[in-house]
């Protein structure tokens, strides 16, 4: 079966760094996405990785290792507005997105 695993909840301090991990097992792979979702709102796109390595975009970076079925989202210089759920999703061989359950990130002052 297809499976995406990520922690349910994480807590971090304003100004710090946090890493949210995601492991996956899917039928085929056409890329891994990270989305941010604030409560009561739709997800917004953060990153897309299809090749191994680190993609940096401002305060956010995303890493992928296809051989390990593993990705992480790294958030630096945390701000209170980063409090949200972070969703990991993998595009399978049929170009369907398989979604993780999301990681709720709580930022404390």
Partner 1 sequence: GAVVSQHPSRVICKSGTSVKIECRSLDFQATTMFWYRQFPKQSLMLMATSNEGSKATYEQGVEKDKFLINHASLTLSTLTVTSAHPEDSSFYICSARGLAGADYEQYFGPGTRLTVT
Residues in contact with partner 1 by the rule CB under 8 A: 30-31, 33, 40-45, 48, 87, 91, 95-97, 99-102
Please calculate the CA angle 43-102-7 and round it to the nearest 5 degrees: 155
Q: Cβ 86 to partner 1, closest distance in Å? A: 11
> Please, which residue, 78 or 103, has the CB nearer to partner 1?
103
> Please, which residue, 42 or 80, has the CB nearer to partner 1?
42
How far does CA 3 lie from the centroid of its chain? 14
* Distance from C-alpha of 2 to C-alpha of 26, rounded to nearest angstrom: 5
Q: Cβ 69 to partner 1, closest distance in Å? A: 18
> Please, which residue, 53 or 109, has the CB nearer to partner 1?
53
> Please, which residue, 75 or 90, has the CB nearer to partner 1?
90
Q: Cβ 8 to partner 1, closest distance in Å? A: 9
Which residues are registered as beta bridge partners of 71? 22, 64
Query: With 0-12 CB in 10 A as exposed, 13-18 as middle and 19+ as buried, what is 63?
Result: buried
């Amino acid at each position: 079966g297809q499976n995406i695993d990520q922690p349910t909840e994480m807590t971090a301090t304003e100004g710090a760094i946090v890493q949210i991990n995601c492991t996956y097992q899917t039928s085929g792979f056409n890329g891994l996405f990270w989305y941010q979702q604030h409560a009561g709102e739709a997800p917004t796109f953060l990153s897309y990785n299809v090749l191994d390595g680190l993609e940096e975009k401002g305060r956010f970076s995303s890493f992928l290792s296809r051989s390990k079925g593993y990705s992480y989202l790294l958030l630096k210089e945390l701000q209170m507005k980063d409090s949200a759920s972070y969703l990991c999703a993998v595009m399978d061989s049929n170009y369907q997105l398989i979604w993780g359950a999301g990681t709720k990130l709580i930022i404390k002052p």
